[in-house]
């Protein structure tokens, strides 16, 4: 299939969108301690706020599917990405808890719609390219996370207010994303690829062969949610780091995540998916262990850095294994597995927060460590030799 210049422009535009979203998300999660301090949110109440965001993201994702049917993924993405940035500004602009709740609710809803529409366009472009390009989009998100965490460090270093930090960032991201949106792929460029993907996703596939992979996905995202939502607070409150140093763990995590995703395919080709996943599980558990026993901040940062190396390979290999299990309905398998992204975030944030609030955050880090280690039990599911399962295609009535 010919890849035209227009398709390359659409791919570059979507890469910019993923990168902008990585910046916005990283800015929010790395400044959680500052947000908590500004609004006076207690440690007991913070997990509820953090859990509400993925719940509402799930709602936004489901709602966006209905809107896309009436408009297009391009139209939804073009609308919601600036709204994500504006809701981030709202988080920094308020001065009471109800305003924080409203801004976080808007952020969650818009992020869910953004995530769904970005990936719909990505899947459509992948169909037109005729080869895998989705990993590049998620690598762009990781790069954006590095930029966002670096901006958060700069904000803490120079004692910028949340409104100044979030507002200045949004002032750059909004025009950049709007400019990129002019080159998003539409129905003409995708040439029915979106509809083909939807038809594939509508095929009936059994849940049972996917359950081990669903568990691995949830465990990986529980670990990821722990880093995203609690690494800054853990460093600042438990390891007594400075405010600016508390932004470093997420940045280091995203750097190693990006490097691992860039090099991971070569590792899979050389040693196989099962070996790479098992090594990732062990490294992830080691990262949690190092962070949990860390006597000072830099050792804690080392632990979270190891986590990036370990987790980077697990999620892509979950998607790859799901596609191999159902080669005739890989989009349906990927769509189901992606649900457990939200499950992991929904469980991870409040679970770690509740254990940390009841005991200590050192003990709380053992929870995702144990869950990640149990992925070893299902690691054989990642083998390319696992027998594929045929999908049931609905029969047509003539």
Q: What is the mean pLDDT of residues 286-302?
A: 96
What is the per-residue pLDDT across 60-86, written as a single tens digit (0 to 9) for each?
A: 877 877 787 788 888 999 999 999 999
Name the pLDDT band for 169 (thresholds 50, 70, 90).
very high
Which three-class secondary structure state does DSSP give residue 314?
Answer: helix
How far separated are the first and last CA of the chain, in Å rounded?
A: 32
Place of tokens 């987790």: 311
Distance (Å, whole) CA 152 – CA 30: 7
Report d(CA 351, CA 162) in Å as an integer: 27
pLDDT at 257 over 50: yes
Question: Tokens 């460590």 sit at which residue?
Answer: 369
Residue 368 banded pLDDT, cuts 50, 70, 90: very high
H/E stretch holding 43 reads none
DSSP H helix total and E strand total for the chain: 17, 0
Give percent of the chain with pLDDT exceeding 70: 88
Of residues 374 and 334, which shows the higher confidence score? 374
Question: What pLDDT score does 193 carry?
Answer: 57
Cα–Cα distance between 393 and 328 in angstroms, integer? 9
Three-state DSSP class for residue 302: helix
Distance of CA 80 to the CA centre of its chain: 17
pLDDT at 398: 33
Which pLDDT does position 197 carry in this prediction? 53
Name the band, by pLDDT with cuts 50, 70 and 90, for residue 148: very high
Of the listed ranges 107-116, 164-173, 200-209, the one predicted with least confidence:
200-209
pLDDT value at 171 more than 90: yes
DSSP one-letter code for 235 = I
- Other CB atoms within 10 Å distance of the CB of residue 246: 29
Angle between helix 97-129 and helix 32-39 axes, rounded to 10 deg = 150
With tokens 């954006």, the residue in question is 144
Average pLDDT in the chain = 85
Query: How many whole angstroms separate alpha carbon 91 and alpha carbon 168?
Result: 13
Distance of CA 392 to the CA centre of its chain: 30
Rounded to an integer, what distance in angstroms lies between the CA atom of residue 221 and that of residue 200? 26
């Amino acid at each position: 299939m010919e890849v035209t210049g227009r398709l390359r422009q659409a791919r570059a535009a979507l890469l910019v969108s993923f990168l902008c979203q990585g910046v916005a998300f990283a800015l929010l999660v790395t400044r959680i301690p500052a947000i908590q301090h500004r609004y006076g949110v207690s440690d007991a109440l913070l997990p509820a706020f953090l859990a509400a965001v993925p719940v509402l993201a799930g709602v936004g994702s489901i709602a966006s599917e209905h809107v896309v049917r009436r408009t297009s993924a391009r139209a939804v993405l073009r609308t919601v990405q600036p709204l994500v940035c504006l809701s981030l500004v709202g988080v920094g602009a308020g001065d009471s808890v109800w305003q924080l709740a409203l801004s976080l609710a808007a952020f969650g809803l818009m992020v869910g719609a953004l995530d769904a529409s970005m990936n719909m366009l990505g899947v459509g472009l992948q169909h037109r390219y005729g080869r895998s390009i989705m990993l590049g989009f998620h690598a762009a998100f990781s790069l954006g996370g590095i930029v966002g965490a670096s901006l958060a460090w700069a904000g803490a270093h120079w004692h910028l207010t949340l409104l100044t930090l979030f507002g200045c960032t949004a002032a750059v991201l909004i025009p950049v994303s709007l400019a990129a949106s002019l080159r998003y792929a539409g129905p003409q460029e995708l040439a029915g690829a979106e509809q083909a993907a939807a038809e594939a996703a509508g095929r009936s596939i059994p849940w049972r062969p996917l359950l081990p992979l669903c568990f691995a996905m949830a465990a990986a995202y529980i670990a990821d949610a722990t880093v995203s939502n609690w690494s800054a607070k853990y460093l600042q409150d438990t390891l007594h780091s400075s405010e600016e140093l508390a932004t470093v763990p997420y940045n280091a995590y995203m750097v190693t995540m990006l490097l691992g995703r860039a090099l991971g395919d070569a590792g899979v080709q050389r040693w196989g998916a099962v070996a790479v996943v098992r090594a990732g599980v062990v490294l992830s558990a080691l990262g949690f262990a190092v962070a949990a026993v860390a006597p000072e901040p830099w050792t804690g940062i080392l632990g979270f850095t190891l986590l990036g190396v370990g987790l980077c390979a697990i999620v892509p290999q979950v998607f790859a294994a799901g596609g191999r299990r159902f080669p005739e309905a890989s989009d349906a398998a990927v769509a189901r597995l992606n649900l457990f992204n939200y499950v992991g975030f929904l469980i991870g944030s409040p679970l770690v927060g509740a254990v940390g609030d009841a005991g200590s955050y050192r003990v709380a880090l053992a929870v995702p460590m144990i869950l990640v280690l149990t992925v070893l039990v299902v690691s054989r599911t990642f083998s390319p030799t696992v027998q594929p399962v045929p999908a049931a295609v609905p029969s047509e009535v003539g």
